[in-house]
């Protein structure tokens, strides 16, 4: 798919299709008014006849409009002008792209970014339009024997900006959007693969391929023998019941001098989670292939970062593992010794992600990090708390949490901060070990965060629980590619601040 930006008048466009907006009630945008004027009122006459009201998402495709150079005009209903917000804008773009893809218009010039969206500038409107387009056009059919493709798919789209002064802004928006979308595609492709293909070794191979592709990326793999030497007893216990060896992939991106402390991203990579001895119910268990969504998100973010060539240092950790029931599997009642030396009483083997992450979070101390963000499909309780709209955020450092929330608002990949008060820590008390691996049903997401916080005393840390946002169930089942936009935006902001400092 090819994207570009330009600044030009609608009546001079010679394209397969021009896309313009119509507000309620039957009110033409300024661009649509230009086309109406040169067509001697052709468009306004259609609206008066009731062909289009202008409600959000309505579409009307016109062919061979008098005196218009382009073959088609797509009129897009945009709702009430003063109520056009970011959510509705993205929905309108998505509906537009789906309509174009069905009409056989292989190229289009889209004037929708010229509309006013509350609180958003040209950069945001162009970037979100590109990201929404890529999201609409994403398919995962690699494993189907017969692949259905549109007869004449959309191949090129030009987004028009109001003035020539904004061309450079629009071009930067396209560059950022393409990198983020590429990262999301990597995330989605890996997450959507079945667990008989995507296992910890496969994740490791993807990390190695990333290093082969980019000169400023290097990767090494930590396998079970080295984990044993490092004392990662908690991580190793989770994977003990699986035939597939646990593999932790360490991806290092160097965008500036080696002395600059890196930002570390740690992704939970449970390539399949049966729950272990605390076996999950069968219904929906197939979706536990998405329990590596954190690692997929980190891998996708590292791809986006390498594409953008940001002047920062970042380490990405893919904590690959598989939780299976077996004669060697760890059990409820076991007491594990973590890499930090702290001991954990296992009360439920289905609370395994935190047992993998705690050792990974201890491992990253060696990088003397600027900050650490772990990403995990950690708790069903987070889905109950925030649904599928927002990622749960917890942190031991207010400025870091503020920066992540800010990035989430900028990117549209929302996060919501949950408390991490000491009051919750007592729920993890164990009579036999330093702590238990669960704290009961109450505040399940928060106690999981509290557990991880005990291993992050030496650096600024944030935890993202993406259990509700990493994938969709039902009709539109599949990985969402989140939180690649949020994490990449955070890194863009950090790189920008670092340069200005």
Active site annotation includes 80: no
Q: Where would I find the H helices in 157-247?
A: 167-192, 200-213, 224-230, 233-239
Candidate list 280, 417, 454, 458, residue with the active-site label = 280
| CA-angle at 245, arms to 241 and 248, nearest 5° | 120
Q: Phi, psi at residue 395, to the nearest 5°?
A: -160, 155
**Is residue 280 flagged as an active site residue?**
yes
Question: Who contacts 409 (Cβ-Cβ below 8 Å, separation ≥6)?
Answer: none
The alpha carbon dihedral of 198, 203, 209, 215 has a sign of positive
CA atoms of 31 and 113, how far apart (whole Å): 11
Q: Looking at 127, 268, 354, 494, which residue is catalytic? A: 354
Separation of alpha carbons 246 and 269, rounded Å: 10
Tell me if residue 140 falls in helix, strand or coil. coil
- The CA distances from residue 139 to 101, 135, 445, in Å, are 13, 9, 32
Closest CA to 490 of 373, 392, 376, 357: 373
Task: Tell me if residue 74 falls in helix, strand or coil.
Answer: strand
Distance CA 9, CA 145 (A): 46
Residues designated catalytic = 280, 354
């Amino acid at each position: 798919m090819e994207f570009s930006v330009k600044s030009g008048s609608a009546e001079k466009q010679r394209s397969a299709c021009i896309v313009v907006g119509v507000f309620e009630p039957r009110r033409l945008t300024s661009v649509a008014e230009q086309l109406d004027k040169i067509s001697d009122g052709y468009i306004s006459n259609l609206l008066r006849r009731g062909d289009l009201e202008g409600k959000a998402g309505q579409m009307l495709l016109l062919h061979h409009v008098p005196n218009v150079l382009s073959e088609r005009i797509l009129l897009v209903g945009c709702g009430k002008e003063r109520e056009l917000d970011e959510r509705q804008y993205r929905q309108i773009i998505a509906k537009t792209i789906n309509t174009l893809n069905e009409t056989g218009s292989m190229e289009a010039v889209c004037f929708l970014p010229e509309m006013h969206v509350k609180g958003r500038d040209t950069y945001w409107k162009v970037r979100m339009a590109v990201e929404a387009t890529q999201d609409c056009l994403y398919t995962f059919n690699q494993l189907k024997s017969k692949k259905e493709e549109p007869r004449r798919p959309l191949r090129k789209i030009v987004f028009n900006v109001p003035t020539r002064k904004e061309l450079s802004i629009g071009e930067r928006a396209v560059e950022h959007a393409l990198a983020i979308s590429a990262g999301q595609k990597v995330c989605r492709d890996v997450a959507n693969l079945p667990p008989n293909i995507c296992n910890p070794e496969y994740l490791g191979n993807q990390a190695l391929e990333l290093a082969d592709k980019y000169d400023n990326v290097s990767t090494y793999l930590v396998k079970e023998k080295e984990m044993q030497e490092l004392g990662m007893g908690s991580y190793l216990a989770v994977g003990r019941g699986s035939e597939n060896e646990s593999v932790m992939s360490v991806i290092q991106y160097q965008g500036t001098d080696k002395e600059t402390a890196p930002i570390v991203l740690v992704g939970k990579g449970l390539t399949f989670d049966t729950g272990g001895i605390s076996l999950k119910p069968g219904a929906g268990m197939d979706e536990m292939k998405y329990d590596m969504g954190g690692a997929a998100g980190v891998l996708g973010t590292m791809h986006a970062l390498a594409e953008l060539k940001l002047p920062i240092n970042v380490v990405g950790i893919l904590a690959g593992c598989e939780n299976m029931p077996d004669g060697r599997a760890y059990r409820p009642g076991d007491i594990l010794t973590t890499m930090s030396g702290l001991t954990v009483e296992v009360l439920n083997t289905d609370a395994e992600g935190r047992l993998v992450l705690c050792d990974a979070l201890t491992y990253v101390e060696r990088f003397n990090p600027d900050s650490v963000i772990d990403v995990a499909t950690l708790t069903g309780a987070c889905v109950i708390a925030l649904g599928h709209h927002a990622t749960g955020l917890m942190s031991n450092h207010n400025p870091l949490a503020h920066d992540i929330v800010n990035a989430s608002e900028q990117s549209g990949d929302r996060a919501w901060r949950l408390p991490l008060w000491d009051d919750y820590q007592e729920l993890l008390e164990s009579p036999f070990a330093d702590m238990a691996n669960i704290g009961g049903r109450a505040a399940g997401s928060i106690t999981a965060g509290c557990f991880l916080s005990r291993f992050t005393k030496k650096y600024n840390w944030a935890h993202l629980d993406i259990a509700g946002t990493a994938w969709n169930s039902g009709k539109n089942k599949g990985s969402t590619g989140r939180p690649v936009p949020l994490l990449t935006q955070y890194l863009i902001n950090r790189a920008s601040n670092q340069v200005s400092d």
